């Protein structure tokens, strides 16, 4: 076939575009990506992804291979999560979809509840906020313990008791994304169980690590289906199972608990739509890739990888705690580390200084009583680089301290705190994006090379304004 561009030309343009992204491999990107450091596993995953890219999970009877692989993955996960014989599972496109489905299922299993609500700790992943928003389930957020960052089971039980007639779901994390700590699952389960309410454990990021840490006596247990009252668990394979993006597992304790997750419609002239997930047509690629990688790495491989990442996270946390101006928010329960800084060291300047040194670390803004912090997701491939990481961190802290804190113009700070985003029009947002340093050429927006001034301003803004500004930014970015 003749086209305007040759295959080689397009392939090299793809590569050239990728060069501007964060690296997905090599262990220097400590958020968004997960690297086992095992090249054969990656290659296998890519091959499976390509081989199954055009298959369609819309109809499992038409592509029985996909059903087989889904059942195999669920079967692999069940003993890891101490699931009973009755447990069932679904492969979804990611953690968010697993969580959306858990919330939607809880809501739809309780049609008698007119104003459904869920009780969650403030550290629950924002995917639950999205679920609340999409499905009209009120989110009752309960502050976590400000010292341990763990959910407060007594406060959650009280919230549950206050709204017992309409709470359809309780959720907690194993571990939380922001601080990497496992919530007190047995205590929360007892409260949920006492009210006969479903309890979802969000193990999106810990579900493929904790089972192996448990074997080494390193996990805060029990946290999974071993706890009576845990009714569902989400565990992402595209995180610590090191599979290509687009795969998570959602397990329910019984088929009855899952039933409302399924959707069927025969009320149109086409095929009867019958879905277990939110997507209808869905590529079998990510599922096949996950099946291949999980089969290849297997129980032993994951045991080693979990231990490597965990030990790396512990070493990183211990090293960071030794650096002046830094505090480790909580001893890591799994493979995530959150680091806070003192007033002399600006968190956002520090993350820029790390990027200059070739490390991506993720800034997290202040929230409630919780200070801003750096989030570090430690992959197996990062573990051997921890000494080098700590050297860079020490130098970056010195640089940030020397630079001094980012000063947000006091007037701008006052304005940010007083603005009601619901009253702002498009022109006002254009002006604000300019003030925030996000203006590009000709009314467009651009990502600046130094994020610290932007982050410092956003950090000073209340969450509702942060959300509105970032939505306005995304809107313009995608015009």
Ligand X SMILES: *Cc1c(COP(=O)(O)O)cnc(C)c1O
Distance between start and end Cα atoms, the chain: 33
Question: Of the ranges 4-12, 199-207, 308-316, 393-401, which one interacts with ligand X (CB under 6 A)?
Answer: 199-207
**Which DSSP helix (H) or strand (E) runs through 339?**
strand 336-341
**Which DSSP helix (H) or strand (E) runs through 388?**
helix 386-403
Strand-pairing partners, residue 198, are 169
User: What is d(CA 456, CA 321) in angstroms, rounded to the nearest whole number?
Assistant: 23
Can residue 224 be called a binding residue for ligand X (CB under 6 A)? no
Residues 6+ apart with CB under 8 A from 291: 48, 69, 72, 73
Minimum distance, C-beta of residue 21 to ligand X, in the bound complex (Å) = 17
Task: Find out whether 342 and 325 touch, Cβ atoms under 8 Å.
Answer: yes
Closer by beta carbon to ligand X, 181 or else 393 = 181
CA torsion through residues 70, 71, 75, 81, sign: positive
Minimum distance, C-beta of residue 249 to ligand X, in the bound complex (Å) = 11
Closer by beta carbon to ligand X, 182 or else 317 = 182
138-142 and 167-173 beta bridge pairing: unpaired
Can residue 294 be called a binding residue for ligand X (CB under 6 A)? no
Question: Which residues within the stretch 122-161 sit at the binding site for ligand X (CB under 6 A)?
Answer: 125, 127
Can residue 364 be called a binding residue for ligand X (CB under 6 A)? no
Q: Which of 197, 189, 201, 202 is nearest to 113 (CA)?
A: 197
Position among 57, 89, 94, 319 found at the interface with ligand X (CB under 6 A): 94
Minimum distance, C-beta of residue 69 to ligand X, in the bound complex (Å) = 19
Strand order across the beta sheet in which 167-173 lies: 88-92, 248-252, 232-236, 198-202, 167-173, 117-121, 138-142
Closer by beta carbon to ligand X, 96 or else 231 = 96
Can residue 319 be called a binding residue for ligand X (CB under 6 A)? no
Question: Of the ranges 93-101, 293-301, 398-406, 434-442, which one interacts with ligand X (CB under 6 A)?
Answer: 93-101
Can residue 104 be called a binding residue for ligand X (CB under 6 A)? no
User: What is d(CA 69, CA 76) in angstroms, rounded to the nearest whole number?
Assistant: 10
Closer by beta carbon to ligand X, 204 or else 416 = 204
User: What is d(CA 408, CA 414) in angstroms, rounded to the nearest whole number?
Assistant: 10
Question: Of the ranges 49-57, 91-99, 277-285, 409-417, which one interacts with ligand X (CB under 6 A)?
Answer: 91-99
User: What is d(CA 282, CA 32) in angstroms, rounded to the nearest whole number?
Assistant: 22
User: What is d(CA 351, CA 360) in angstroms, rounded to the nearest whole number?
Assistant: 7
Residues 6+ apart with CB under 8 A from 432: 419, 424, 469, 472
Strand-pairing partners, residue 161, are none
What single DSSP character describes residue 211?
H
Position among 44, 106, 137, 204 found at the interface with ligand X (CB under 6 A): 204
Question: Of the ranges 94-102, 297-305, 406-414, 439-447, which one interacts with ligand X (CB under 6 A)?
Answer: 94-102
Position among 34, 52, 76, 177 found at the interface with ligand X (CB under 6 A): 177
Question: Which residues within the stretch 228-267 sit at the binding site for ligand X (CB under 6 A)?
Answer: 236, 248
Closer by beta carbon to ligand X, 137 or else 461 = 137
Position among 36, 90, 92, 96 found at the interface with ligand X (CB under 6 A): 96
Give how many residues touch ligand X by CB under 6 A. Answer: 13
Q: Which of 175, 290, 174 is nearest to 241 (CA)?
A: 290
Minimum distance, C-beta of residue 202 to ligand X, in the bound complex (Å) = 5
Task: Find out whether 437 and 453 touch, Cβ atoms under 8 Å.
Answer: yes
Minimum distance, C-beta of residue 400 to ligand X, in the bound complex (Å) = 27
Among all residues, whose Cβ is closest to ligand X?
95
Closer by beta carbon to ligand X, 204 or else 380 = 204
Can residue 45 be called a binding residue for ligand X (CB under 6 A)? no
Report residue 263 as tokens.
Answer: 């959707």
Closer by beta carbon to ligand X, 95 or else 372 = 95
In the numeric block, the tokens 């993720």 are attached to 362
Minimum distance, C-beta of residue 190 to ligand X, in the bound complex (Å) = 22
Instruction: Give me the phi and psi of 139, to 5 degrees please.
Output: -100, 120
Minimum distance, C-beta of residue 151 to ligand X, in the bound complex (Å) = 13
Can residue 465 be called a binding residue for ligand X (CB under 6 A)? no
Position among 92, 173, 221, 308 found at the interface with ligand X (CB under 6 A): 173
User: What is d(CA 368, CA 432) in angstroms, rounded to the nearest whole number?
Assistant: 24
Closer by beta carbon to ligand X, 131 or else 465 = 131
Closer by beta carbon to ligand X, 127 or else 292 = 127
Q: Could you tell me the maximum CA-CA distance found in the chain, to the nearest angstrom? A: 69
Can residue 200 be called a binding residue for ligand X (CB under 6 A)? no
Give contact residues for ligand X (rule: CB under 6 A).
Answer: 94-96, 99, 125, 127, 173, 177, 202, 204-205, 236, 248
């Amino acid at each position: 076939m003749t086209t305007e561009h040759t295959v080689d030309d397009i392939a090299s343009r793809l590569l050239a575009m990728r060069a501007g992204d964060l690296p997905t491999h090599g262990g220097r990107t400590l958020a968004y990506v997960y690297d086992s450091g095992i090249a054969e596993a990656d290659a296998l995953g890519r091959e499976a992804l390509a081989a199954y890219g055009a298959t369609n999970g819309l109809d499992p009877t038409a592509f029985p291979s996909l059903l087989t692989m889904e059942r195999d993955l669920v079967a692999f996960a069940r003993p890891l999560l101490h699931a009973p014989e009755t447990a069932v599972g679904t492969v979804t496109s990611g953690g968010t979809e697993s969580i959306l489905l858990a919330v939607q299922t809880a809501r739809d299993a309780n049609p008698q509840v007119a104003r459904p609500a869920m009780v969650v700790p403030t550290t629950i992943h924002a995917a639950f906020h999205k679920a609340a928003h999409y499905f009209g389930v009120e989110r009752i957020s309960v502050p976590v313990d400000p010292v341990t960052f763990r959910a407060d089971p007594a406060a959650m039980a009280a919230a549950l008791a206050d709204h017992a007639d309409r709470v359809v779901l309780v959720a907690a994390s194993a571990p939380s994304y922001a601080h990497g700590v496992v919530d007190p699952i047995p205590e929360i389960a007892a409260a949920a169980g006492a009210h006969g309410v479903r309890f979802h454990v969000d193990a999106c990021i810990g579900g493929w690590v904790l089972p192996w840490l448990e074997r080494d006596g390193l996990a805060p247990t029990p946290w999974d289906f071993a706890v009576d009252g845990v009714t569902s668990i989400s565990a992402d394979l595209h995180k610590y199972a090191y599979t290509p993006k687009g795969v998570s597992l959602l397990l329910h304790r019984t088929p009855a608990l899952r039933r409302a997750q399924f959707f069927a419609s025969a009320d149109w002239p086409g095929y009867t739509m019958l879905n277990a997930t939110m997507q209808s047509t869905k590529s079998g690629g990510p599922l096949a890739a996950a099946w291949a990688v999980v089969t290849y790495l297997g129980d032993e491989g994951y045991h080693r990888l979990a231990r490597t990442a965990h030990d790396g996270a512990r070493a990183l946390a211990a090293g960071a705690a030794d650096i002046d101006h830094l505090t480790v928010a909580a001893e890591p329960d799994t493979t995530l580390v959150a680091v806070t800084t003192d007033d002399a060291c600006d968190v956002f300047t520090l993350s820029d200084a790390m990027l200059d040194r070739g490390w991506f670390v993720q800034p997290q803004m202040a929230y409630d009583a919780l200070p801003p912090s750096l989030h570090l997701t430690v992959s197996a491939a990062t573990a051997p680089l921890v000494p080098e990481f700590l050297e860079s961190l020490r130098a970056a802290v010195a640089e940030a301290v020397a630079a001094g804190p980012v000063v947000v113009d006091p007037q701008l700070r006052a304005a940010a705190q007083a603005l009601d985003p619901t009253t702002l029009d498009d022109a006002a947002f254009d002006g604000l994006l300019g003030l925030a340093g996000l203006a590009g050429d000709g009314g467009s927006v651009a990502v600046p090379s130094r994020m610290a001034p932007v982050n410092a301003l956003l950090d000073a803004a209340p969450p509702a304004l942060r959300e509105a500004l970032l939505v306005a930014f995304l809107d313009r970015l995608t015009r």
